[in-house]
Amino acid sequence: MSAQSPIPRLSLRGLKEKKPRDYIVRFAFGAAISLIGALISLKYLLFGGMFLAFPAILPASLTLVERDAGRKEAAIDAEGAIIGACGLLAFALVAAFGIKPLGAFTALVLAALAWLLAAVAIYAAVMAWRATTRKPGTAAPG
């Protein structure tokens, strides 16, 4: 995300700048977290899905972002993950309560729309709140 604009943008340039070690760290973190989640699910079925839903590479990604771009940029990425997780909650609720009465395809399409709407609405609300709470004469956060 650019410091000048709250609108996210995609830059493939960042992929070329990463070292193979960075990808290995992300893979190792993701694999370790997924393995721990799978082992928990073998013993406690009720909690297994919750741990497997954890964004496995988030800790590694935030660590690498902080190292390369600083703590502020890592905090912005963490906020984005929280917003995405809120959208995922909307997805899960619509899917959980919609699959039986609506059928899988319809419920999953509606769940995807719920995720998108929730994530965009929360993002817009956060940006609006920041705009209204910013002190006059200060730069835009982010």
Is pLDDT at 2 greater than 50 in this prediction? no
CA-CA-CA-CA torsion for 7, 8, 14, 18, nearest 10 degrees? 130
Model pTM score: 0.61
For residue range 40-66, what is the model confidence (pLDDT) as tens digits?
778 877 666 666 566 667 877 788 888
* pLDDT at res. 115: 93
Contacts of 85 (CB under 8 A, 6+ apart): 55
Q: What stretches of the chain show up as alpha helix (H) in DSSP?
A: 13-17, 20-43, 45-52, 58-69, 71-102, 104-133
Residue linked to tokens 């395809």: 105
Task: Give me the mean pLDDT over the 79-97 stretch.
Answer: 88
* pLDDT at res. 94: 92
Is pLDDT at 92 greater than 80 in this prediction? yes
- Confidence class for position 107, pLDDT limits 50, 70, 90: very high
* pLDDT at res. 1: 47
